[in-house]
Amino acid sequence: MHAYTKSLKTFFEKHTNPLNVASMKKYMRGQFEYLGIKSPQATTLLRDFIKTNGLPPFEKLDLISRELWSLPQREFQYIAMNLISRYEKKLEAEFIKTVEYLIITKSWWDTVDLLASHPVGALFKKYPKVKGKYLKKWRKSENMWLRRTTLLFQLGYKTETDFDLLCEIIKENLGSDEFFINKAIGWSLRQYAHTNPALVKKICQSHKRITSAKSARSIEEYWQLISKKQIADLVSIE
Residues 66-101: pLDDT tens digits?
999 999 999 999 999 999 999 999 999 999 999 999
Residues whose CB falls within 8 Å of the CB of residue 152, separated by 6 or more in sequence, listed in order: 113, 116, 117, 184, 187, 188
Q: What is the pLDDT of residue 16?
A: 96
Name the burial class of residue 119, with classes exposed (0-12), middle (13-18) and buried (19+) by CB atoms within 10 angstroms of its CB: buried
Low pLDDT (below 70) residues in the chain: 205-238
- Note the pLDDT tens digit of each residue in 148-181: 999 999 999 999 999 999 989 998 998 888 989 9
Q: What is the pLDDT of residue 171?
A: 87
Q: What is the pLDDT of residue 68?
A: 99
Q: What is the pLDDT of residue 20?
A: 96
Q: What is the pLDDT of residue 208?
A: 55
3 state SS of 33: strand
